[in-house]
Chain A
Amino acid sequence: RKEVEQDPGPFNVPEGATVAFNCTYSNSASQSFFWYRQDCRKEPKLLMSVYSSGNEDGRFTAQLNRASQYISLLIRDSKLSDSATYLCVVTSGNTPLVFGKGTRLSVIA
């Protein structure tokens, strides 16, 4: 089983739609969780950290379910500029970050 698994997509959604991505992780010792965003042919950049109680940043909401070992990212009111690949990232705290393969999102006008 891969350490971090994501649905590769692509998710094709119209502008204004709500879309959600899930990510599962296998290491129960994982302590920190993140979502990174990667635009086509660009480097990954941190989108948001994921906290145990869930957290929101504008149109983006991240949630963590430790019991089921998955994290999620919800994007509301999708914009064309949200089109990108979203990378799920986990770490156990004393090891380098482990990146999922990413979920590709295309927001269509």
Chain B
Amino acid sequence: NAGVTQTPKFRVLKTGQSMTLLCAQDMNHEYMYWYRQDPGMGLRLIHYSVGEGTTAKGEVPDGYNVSRLKKQNFLLGLESAAPSQTSVYFCASSHRLAGLYEQYFGPGTRLTVT
């Protein structure tokens, strides 16, 4: 099993450009998440999904949109990138929302917005 994979691994965008980050998991997990991690800020939840066709806002959703059309995929979109969105983006998945269920992370996408 590949676990959680993310595409692309690195990307440089100019301000105002758009892009979509793809997350895929092959563990049949119901729950999927998008985080961003910045120095000194820790992991912050952007959006999450509790199942196919559903999404919910996390702590820092502004400037991002998400879609979960298929159970195994969770897409994160930036419609008009800003330098403040320069960050490392991690996708994760789990069987349950919380409780004693491990959350598995992808390897991350390093995004720079100039």
Q: Which residues of B contact A57 (CB under 8 A)?
A: none
Partner-contacting stretch, out of A14-22, A64-72, A76-84, A88-96: A88-96
Q: Which residues of B contact A108 (CB under 8 A)?
A: none
Is B74 at the interface (CB under 8 A from chain A)? Answer: no
Question: B43-68, CB under 8 A of A: which get 1 and which 0?
Answer: 10100100000000010000000000
Question: A92-109, CB under 8 A of B: which get 1 and which 0?
Answer: 111111011110000000
Q: How many B residues have CB within 8 A of the partner chain?
A: 20
Q: How many A residues have CB within 8 A of the partner chain?
A: 22
Q: Which of A49, A91, A101 contacts B40 (CB 8 A)?
A: A101
When the two chains form their complex, are residues A87 and B42 in contact, meaning their CB atoms are under 8 A apart?
A: yes
Q: Which residues of A contact B42 (CB under 8 A)?
A: 87, 99-102
In Å, the complex CA distance between A96 and B34 comes to: 11
**Which positions in B face A, CB cutoff 8 Å?**
33, 35, 40-43, 45, 48, 58, 90, 97-100, 102-103, 105-108
